[in-house]
Chains A and B, each alone.
Chain A
Amino acid sequence: MSVDQVSSAWVPLAAALLLAVAAAAAALDGALAARSLGHHPASGLLTPVAETARLFRQRRRSTLAADVPLWRIGGAGLLTAALLMVVVVPLGRWTVADLAVGVVWFNAMDVLLWAAVWLAGWGPNSAHALVGGFRFLAQALAYELPLMFALTTPAVAAQSLRLGDLVAAQEGLWFVVWMPVAFVVFCGAVLAFSVWGPFAAATGSTTAGGVLAETSGVDRWLVTAGRYALLTAGAAFGATAFLGGGQGPLLPAWLWTLLKTAALLAVLVALRRRLPVLRPERLVAPAWLVVLPLTLLQLLVVSVVVVVRG
């Protein structure tokens, strides 16, 4: 299956699609939250709309001696990074940017988040927000290297960094089947860079909302929407790099990509209900002593298979 680059006139549509899927993820989270409140799940489906109305109606919070430019850059950085990530992810046969280094591009955008989240914590000149920002950096130290090697694995198997080639190389057998460790590590890292679920310490209640402690109104909307968009972009990349992208019978390729993305995204969203937050200071040791060696082992196995197969 070949992937073609579409005209850049389609870019707004791609962005709208990302936001729409992210909104669906927020609606799912709202429904799950309503269920745990003892309400009918359907009553939570409007949560993203209601929250958007609430935040757009709210005043922006200002703080004393805030670093306003950096605060705004950080707050907008999450959504921006998510939009830049999906640029290289093909939707079926179409992609917005058919980069020869698509995998590296995705990785580079995720590294942007180190700055974005930390700046969102630095900007308001508040102790809790700053601690939240630093907790994200501690967490990033734990997830970034495993993520890089998890991203390398499918690229080695396809012998290309182009996402279209990754999809083509999965004809017949999805990568998730013979590189499950890389897939699981990748999903964990998506949760971590989206500040979600067990990796949400940077916005946790122990620091009164962490990097979100001082944000309100449209600034808060940008960060919240950015987190959902990051989850969505991560799920879309995961569906492409590990779950065969547009490969599948009967249905058109674009629909397969969407379905796989939605399924992976739903799992990531639902995980938040099941798990408490992990404290970042207890994360680095297992990440470097257990997860990283396992990821390298996975990479070694895949490399040997590729060499033997010639």
Chain B
Amino acid sequence: MDLITRLATRRTAVLVVEVPGWAATRWAVEREVRDRGWRPALSPADADVLVVCGRPGARLATAVDHVWTQLPGPRARAALTEPASAAGALDAALTQLTDRDAQRRDAVDRPDEPSPGTGAAERVEGEPTPSEPQDDEPPAFDDPGPAQEDDGDSDAGEPGDMDHGDMDHGGMDHGGMDHGGMDHGGMYDHGDMDMDMPMPGGIMLAGAGGNDQLPDPDGLDLDVLHLPLGPVLPSWPAGLLLHTTLQGDLVVAAVPEVLPADGAPPSAQDVRRSPAGRWDAVATLLALAGWDDAATRAARLRDAALDGELHQGDADRLARRIRRSRLLRASLRGLGELPDGDAHDRLLHWLDGAAAERTTTLGDVAELVTGLDLAAARLVVASLDLDTAHRTPAPAEATS
């Protein structure tokens, strides 16, 4: 390994994908990442290594495959199920990263142009064909690019329509698809598609808000954008896919669903309701609140609690520090109001070790995030500490 490679891999950024039910494996990977002085990645563009924890179901696997195409490279991919194999998986990833010939071959094989999302061929589970008339459709719609038909709000009640894997890379995707692909569906809905609309890169521009039946909370006539959040998104519930409809950065409608694992997850991974699980929730919320230092310390406490070596003094010190932060309170206060309080209250409950057993349904999630901006919605979702593993994979519910 030459000097540059050795230096470069000191700071390897890892994008960790948790399959619903494999929380303990994610924790083991995160601990291993920390021990090596590596760091978690915020997006595929930021990542060197993609690690999948658990056995994903077909749709989640398609989403992961799509995210894999977005890693810039040099890149490496690893998959594991057992927490004990975390070190081995990362060692293997490091070997891939430092293998110059393999990386060069990988780079040569990749297309120059970014993939605009999975094409029609990769759609799974009998995607219904668009019911709208096809004859006045611009030819570009047949390109692989805008092949996704997300009709967003209008047929949110049809679970079949949610099946395409191309939506799944979610928040992390290059915007080409987020803007274009997702929007032409919205334009179909209203039947007044403007054929003269310019289509940069073969994708439609965001539809004008005036065409949409959605109420605009600010009274502004903003463009409507359909943006999927998840399922591959750091600090996000495992496997959760939230189809959001945005006006500006405000969520005006959200349709949640969970992309399940392939089969039932092992019961040994059921760690969420333990003290370690509470510290994991704290770490996730703090990471989203942008307090890296406290989030790292909370994750260390989580791992110590898992080993049964949690020093109460350390835990109390961090809890005090978090409770005292006025800025954190200012930023979380009033978000995601439920009968048991807001996001900040729930954080304090976790710190007290007295988290109430909540039965937040996916429908509640949609209701809570509607009307919030994208960033606040992320904080609210994290504050709910959703357990996506023990949820019957119900069809997506319409809430808008």
Contact = CB atoms under 8 A, between A and B. Distances in A.
A214 B45 contact: yes
B297 A205 contact: no
A135 B7 CA distance: 34
Contact of A66 (B5, B176, B177, B330): B176
A37 B175 contact: no
B37 A65 contact: no
Contacts of B202: 65
Contacts of B10: 46, 50, 54
B234 interface: yes
B274 interface: no
Given A46-B10, A209-B43, A276-B325, A124 B175 contact: yes
Contacts of A86: none
A49 interface: yes
Given A54-B12, A209-B43, A279-B376, A63 B37 contact: no
Contacts of A134: 248-249
Contacts of B180: 64-65
A65 B145 CA distance: 11
B72 A58 contact: yes
Given A126-B173, A198-B327, A207-B374, A274 B225 contact: no
Contacts of B11: 47, 50-51, 54
Given A46-B7, A50-B11, A209-B42, A127 B175 contact: yes
B174 A214 contact: yes
Contacts of A124: 174-175
A201 B116 CA distance: 28
Interface string A205-216: 111110011111
Nearest to A51: B11
A59 B73 contact: yes
Contacts of B73: 58-59
B45 A57 contact: no
A274 B322 CA distance: 10
B148 to A, nearest CB: 12
B285 to A, nearest CB: 10
Interface in B252-302: 286-294, 296-297, 300
Contacts of A44: 37
Contact of B327 (A37, A62, A209, A278): A278
Interface in A202-244: 204-209, 212-217, 220
Interface string A263-280: 000000000111111110
A213 B45 contact: yes
Contacts, number: 203
Contacts of B116: 64
Nearest to B112: A62
Given A277-B331, A279-B331, A129 B175 contact: yes
The bracket for how many chain A residues form the interface is 35 or more
Nearest to B177: A64
A16 interface: no
Interface of chain B, helix or strand or loop or mixed? helix
Contacts of A207: 171, 374-375, 378
Contacts of B373: 281
Given A54-B11, A59-B72, A64 B290 contact: no
A159 interface: no
B46 A65 contact: no
A134 B74 CA distance: 31
A213 B374 contact: no
B179 interface: yes
B327 A53 contact: no
Contacts of B227: 127
Nearest to A62: B114
A97 interface: no
B107 interface: yes
A215 B291 contact: no
Given A128-B43, A214-B45, A278-B327, A57 B74 contact: yes
A126 B327 CA distance: 29
B149 interface: no
Contacts of B159: none
Interface in B303-338: 325, 327-328, 330-331
22 contacts: A34-B37, A50-B10, A51-B11, A61-B70, A61-B72, A64-B176, A64-B177, A65-B179, A125-B175, A126-B176, A127-B225, A201-B375, A204-B290, A206-B290, A207-B171, A208-B233, A209-B42, A214-B175, A216-B46, A275-B327, A276-B331, A282-B330
Given A53-B7, A53-B8, A208-B172, 17 more contacts: A38-B34, A46-B7, A54-B12, A59-B107, A124-B174, A124-B175, A126-B174, A127-B175, A127-B227, A128-B374, A206-B378, A212-B43, A216-B46, A275-B327, A276-B327, A277-B331, A278-B331
Interface of A: 32-34, 36-39, 43-44, 46-47, 49-51, 53-54, 56-66, 124-131, 134-135, 198, 200-201, 204-209, 212-217, 220, 272-279, 281-282
Interface of B: 4-5, 7-13, 34, 37, 42-43, 45-46, 48, 70, 72-74, 107, 112-114, 116, 145, 171-180, 200-203, 225, 227, 233-235, 246, 248-249, 286-294, 296-297, 300, 325, 327-328, 330-331, 373-376, 378-379
